[in-house]
Amino acid sequence: MREIQFREALREAMNEEMRTDSSIFLMGEEVAEYNGAYKVSQGMLDEFGPERVIDTPIAELGFAGIAVGAAMNGLRPIVEFMTFNFSLVAIDQVINAAAKMMSMSGGQFNVPIVFRGPTGNAGMLSSQHSQNFENWFANCPGLKVVVPSNPYDAKGLLKTSIRDNDPVIFMESELMYGDKGEVPIEEYLIPIGSADIKRSGTDVTIVSFGKLMKVALNAAVELEKEGISAEVIDLRSVRPIDYATVVESVKKTNRLVIVEEAWPLAAISSEITYHIQKHAFDYLDAPIHRINSLDVPLPYAPTLIDAILPNVGRTVKAVKAVLYKD
């Protein structure tokens, strides 16, 4: 084991896969000459050359379409969106081409492609650069949606995503690229659709994913100081969702709190809430509580950002509400 940054774990995953499979290539804005907007692709142009690490114009619809066509013809593109906010420009290619092609072609065309890049709030970037689209893409059949929370998971899940024969949405965060964590030197894979219990507990289940796992885990530490034992589950992917792990945890703790950065309407937390009340209703000792960002565009001012986003304080309060039925 050694400790590396989140961005380094992603780079290692791409490098290792590209060294063993010449059909894999990376394309996106500033991925080559500039070494990536967040330095995820640093050094890759030098190793693989401009035919496999390709700088694109500021034209997401165009280069997403090129990548879909390449995938249909036997290549395995990795497309980096500088932020998933910009994927809206390319969403027709993601939803109407990549996601549907295997079905519409009667299985004649697979689209083995990874769309990756940061999602959600990254500080004072205001409304148009701070949105969460995990639940948007998870709504579409034909896509898989992966949202890792740490360097170990990021590397194992990205390698699996690159090898997958279906299109994968792989969502990161600007606020995680510098995070450090232990990652093995030897090769490993993590299956898509397998949640991970990051912390065992007995009193309440807290479910989250992506960078908000920091909020969930920090809340569990604060709760422990008051004698409350929280089990914390990292979904790791939101399509497919590992419902079974959440159900078994709720059967043990009898209480559930879900922490998610997206807006509340039609969120992943809504879907989990429905599934648990259907499959574990008799085990619940209190209503499920969920914590989302407030239902407004994210502003620029840091004080307002803090008031809108899920945080440790709101999570602790929600846990106490399900424990004491406030």
What residues are labeled active site?
A: 60, 129
Q: Which residues partner with 168 through β-bridges?
A: 114, 144
CA proximity to 269, closest of 321, 311, 209: 209
The continuous run of DSSP H or E covering 208 comes out as: strand 204-208
What is the crossing angle of helices 151-163 and 6-20, to 10°?
Answer: 30
Burial of residue 91 (number of CB atoms within 10 Å: 0-12, 13-18, 19+): middle
CA proximity to 227, closest of 204, 207, 256: 204
Residue with tokens 């908000």: 212
Residue with tokens 């065992």: 200
Q: Are 192 and 161 in contact (CB under 8 A)?
A: yes
Q: Are 255 and 290 in contact (CB under 8 A)?
A: no
Dist CA 227 CA 42 (whole Å): 45
Dist CA 147 CA 235 (whole Å): 8
The continuous run of DSSP H or E covering 162 comes out as: helix 151-163
The continuous run of DSSP H or E covering 302 comes out as: helix 302-308
Q: What letter would DSSP give residue 87?
A: G
